């Protein structure tokens, strides 16, 4: 299994600012995914981040609002830009455990509160 | 389009009761994966079980068991003799595998309360 570390674990941000969340994996992984979990809700996929290519965003999420970088096989960042209170959520980094299994390993999440 | 429905929003049981969490899915893919994840109050998601579309065998792991029925598009999860530590939100999830870019969609979750 992969160990996934996310930073920050939590933060309180002011409206209009941007915050970058880092995701570090202890092994090389092909596919990484970013999810959002709004308070009391399920997980919603934001984008797929593969090394060497642009992130692929799901409907309702755009690169200007959630720019993603994937510089290598162990690291990715998600930026939440121009934040509003509606962006208050837990943001989760996940990695594919294996191409033959399809299961995901998750980081502990980054809990953002926007005032 | 893929969809996962967990109709039970919250379930409350008394310790040692058996409880079944329902999951119904929709997909047009012939190859897909189904999962259950647990999210305890600490927040971290824990993988519990995976089933691929070609494997309808039910599985038992300790107090946990899973019933996969393609005929009814269901993948239900039963906890036998529930314990307080089972209190968590449980998510059923669906992935289209390679063909779907391994994107995983999650059901709304069922919050389980187990009272002592």
Residue A30 in contact with partner chain B when CB distance is under 8 A? no
Cβ-based burial of B80 (10 A; exposed 0-12, middle 13-18, buried ≥19): middle
Decide if A43 and B97 are in contact by the 8 Å CB cutoff: no
pLDDT band at residue A70 using 50, 70 and 90 as cut-offs: very high
pLDDT score for B56: 83
Average pLDDT over residues B79-102: 93
* Model confidence pLDDT, tens digit, residues B19-59: 999 999 999 988 999 999 999 988 889 999 999 898 888 88
Decide if A101 and B103 are in contact by the 8 Å CB cutoff: no
Decide if B47 and A109 are in contact by the 8 Å CB cutoff: no
Is the predicted pLDDT of residue A1 greater than 80, yes or no?
A: no
Partner-chain residue, chosen from A42, A90, A102, that has the shortest CB–CB distance to B50: A102
* Model confidence pLDDT, tens digit, residues B76-90: 999 999 999 999 999
* Model confidence pLDDT, tens digit, residues A7-49: 999 999 999 999 999 999 999 998 899 999 999 899 999 999 9
What is the end-to-end Cα distance of chain A in Å, rounded? 36
Chain A hits for B107, CB-CB cut-off 8 Å, are 42
Is the predicted pLDDT of residue A100 greater than 90, yes or no?
A: no
Decide if A106 and B44 are in contact by the 8 Å CB cutoff: yes
As a whole number, the mean pLDDT across chain B is 93
Shortest distance between the Cα of B100 and any Cα of chain A, in A, equals 11
Chain B hits for A54, CB-CB cut-off 8 Å, are none
Shortest distance between the Cα of A74 and any Cα of chain B, in A, equals 18
Minimum CA–CA partner of A94 in chain B: B45
pLDDT score for A44: 97
As a whole number, the mean pLDDT across chain A is 93
Average pLDDT over residues B52-74: 91
pLDDT score for B102: 87
pLDDT score for A98: 79
Q: What is the C-alpha separation between B78 and B65, in angstroms, rounded?
A: 5
Is the predicted pLDDT of residue A99 greater than 80, yes or no?
A: no
- Which tops the pLDDT comparison, A101 or B52? B52
Partner-chain residue, chosen from B97, B104, B108, that has the shortest CB–CB distance to A104: B104
**Among residues of chain A, what percentage have pLDDT more than 90?**
83
Average pLDDT over residues A59-65: 96
pLDDT score for B20: 98
Residue A38 in contact with partner chain B when CB distance is under 8 A? no
Residue B41 in contact with partner chain A when CB distance is under 8 A? no
Partner-chain residue, chosen from B33, B45, B107, that has the shortest CB–CB distance to A106: B45
Chain B hits for A90, CB-CB cut-off 8 Å, are 43
């Amino acid at each position: 299994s992969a160990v996934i570390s996310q930073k920050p674990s939590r933060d309180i941000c002011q409206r209009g600012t941007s915050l970058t969340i880092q995701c570090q994996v202890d092994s090389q992984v092909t596919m990484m995914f970013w999810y959002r979990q709004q308070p009391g809700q399920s997980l919603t996929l934001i984008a797929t981040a593969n090394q060497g290519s642009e992130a692929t965003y799901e409907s309702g999420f755009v690169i200007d609002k959630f720019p993603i970088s994937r510089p290598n096989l162990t690291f990715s960042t998600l930026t939440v830009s121009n934040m509003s209170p509606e962006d208050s959520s837990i943001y989760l980094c996940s990695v594919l455990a294996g191409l033959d299994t399809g299961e995901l390993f998750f980081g502990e999440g980054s809990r953002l509160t926007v005032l | 389009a893929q969809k996962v429905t967990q109709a039970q929003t919250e379930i409350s049981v008394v310790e040692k009761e058996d409880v079944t969490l329902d999951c119904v899915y929709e997909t047009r893919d012939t190859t897909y994966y189904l999962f259950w994840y647990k999210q305890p109050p600490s927040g971290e998601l824990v993988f519990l079980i995976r089933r691929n579309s070609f494997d309808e065998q039910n599985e038992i792991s300790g107090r946990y068991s899973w019933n996969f029925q393609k005929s009814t598009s269901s993948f239900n999860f039963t906890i036998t003799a529930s314990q307080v530590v089972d209190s968590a939100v449980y998510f059923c999830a669906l992935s289209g595998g390679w063909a779907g870019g391994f994107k995983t969609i999650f059901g709304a979750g069922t919050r389980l309360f187990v009272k002592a």
